A and B are shown apart, each in its own frame.
Chain A
Amino acid sequence: MTHAAITLEDVRRALGEQDAQLAAAFASLDPKVPIAVPTASLRLLAEVCASARSAPAAVIEGNWASVRC
């Protein structure tokens, strides 16, 4: 099975679409009206970001010394 190669341009496009999605959502809000958001969602958002911070560190640094077979 062959996979289409992902290029940096594809990544940039994906990031741009994410930013646009976020910007559109914020633009739809009235800046003067406070928002009630689920606390659990806020925590989940923080946890997803925290896991991204910690999980792939070994791969990012190209350090495979921590991998034990």
Chain B
Amino acid sequence: MTTSVSGIGTSGIAYPGDGTLPGTSVMSPDSLLAYCQIQLGDLDDQVTTQMNSQQLSLEERTAVQNVDTTFETFGDQGPTTGDQMHTCVAAIQNAINQLPAGDPVAAQLEALGNQMVAQYGYKETDPVPQAVGSPAANVGPPPANGTPAASPASPAHGASPLTLPAAPPVTPSSTPVYTLSNPPKNDDWKGTTDAMGNLADSIKSNAEMQMLTLQDLVSQRQQVVELATGMMSKEDETLTDGAKAIGQQ
């Protein structure tokens, strides 16, 4: 990180006396451009970082909102059958798959999903022999972006898959069987949806803070640009004033 005034010198322009005007530096336009680029470089890096964070927050919000929307389709009571709960579990898995590796929101979604599965006694029976006791039975439909859903055995985000209940012995059925031994009662489902809502609110708050920081950086960048363009527009005036001053000597 440099703040040196590289490329600035007093040679290259001819003035009588000491060769330059007091309080001024003489440089080529290319040097001035390079100087501005160096100074703006770190600022631009920060702007890029913040913009990427904003973009990630948007993706996280979208993923969580998709889960929230799915949950809302089951009203205040929540899912009452295994198939309905499977829809919720698949929504969470899809949301996780949409987020990048190591994303903290993906980890939170995973924790919420695991809690939901355990709380409501959701079980999934896959007829494929290799799936007995395997988390592969929990694969949801492909995510909306068209990429195949990552297998929970090797999730793209690097976190462990949603914990699945132990699968019973294989049945001859060709489609998985979803069961719900402890469906939501009273305000159970409200607690689940509130947790998802809190996650969405948290993402939104962080995104708003990031956006304020980003706006601040853009304002500072504007200040730098104004300074740079101001220097250039005053350059003719400076030279003119200098010439006048020299002429009066």
**How many inter-chain residue pairs (CB < 8 Å) link A and B?**
147
Chain A's nearest CB lies how many Å from the CB of B24?
Answer: 4
Taking a contact as CB atoms under 8 Å apart, the answer to whether A49 and B224 are in contact is yes
**CB-nearest residue of chain B to A60:** B213
Chain B proximity mask over A27-58: 1 for CB below 8 Å, otherwise 0 = 01111011111111111111011111100100
Chain B's nearest CB lies how many Å from the CB of A22?
Answer: 5
Whether B246 is near chain A, meaning CB under 8 Å from some CB there, is no
Whether A67 is near chain B, meaning CB under 8 Å from some CB there, is no
A6/B211 contact (C-beta < 8 A), A42-B5, A46-B39, A60-B46 known: yes
A25/B228 contact (C-beta < 8 A), A11-B215, A36-B238, A39-B23 known: yes
Main secondary structure of the interface of B (DSSP, over half): helix
Which residues from B are CB-within-8-Å of A11? 47, 51, 214-215, 218
A48/B225 contact (C-beta < 8 A), A6-B215, A62-B206 known: no
Docked CA distance A31–B217 (Å): 30
Taking a contact as CB atoms under 8 Å apart, the answer to whether A28 and B232 are in contact is yes
A14/B222 contact (C-beta < 8 A), A6-B211, A42-B231, A49-B43 known: yes
Instruction: Count residues on chain B whose CB falls below 8 Å from chain A CBs.
Output: 61
Which residues from B are CB-within-8-Å of A36? 13, 20-21, 24-26, 235, 238-239, 242
A39/B24 contact (C-beta < 8 A), A8-B54, A11-B51, A62-B206 known: yes
Whether B40 is near chain A, meaning CB under 8 Å from some CB there, is yes
**CB-nearest residue of chain B to A51:** B220
Taking a contact as CB atoms under 8 Å apart, the answer to whether A42 and B42 are in contact is no
Instruction: Count residues on chain A whose CB falls below 8 Å from chain B CBs.
Output: 40
Which residues from A are CB-within-8-Å of B35? 42
Chain B's nearest CB lies how many Å from the CB of A8?
Answer: 5
A31/B29 contact (C-beta < 8 A), A49-B42, A60-B49 known: yes
Ranked 8 nearest A-B pairs via Cβ: A25-B229, A34-B12, A29-B29, A49-B39, A52-B220, A34-B13, A36-B24, A46-B3
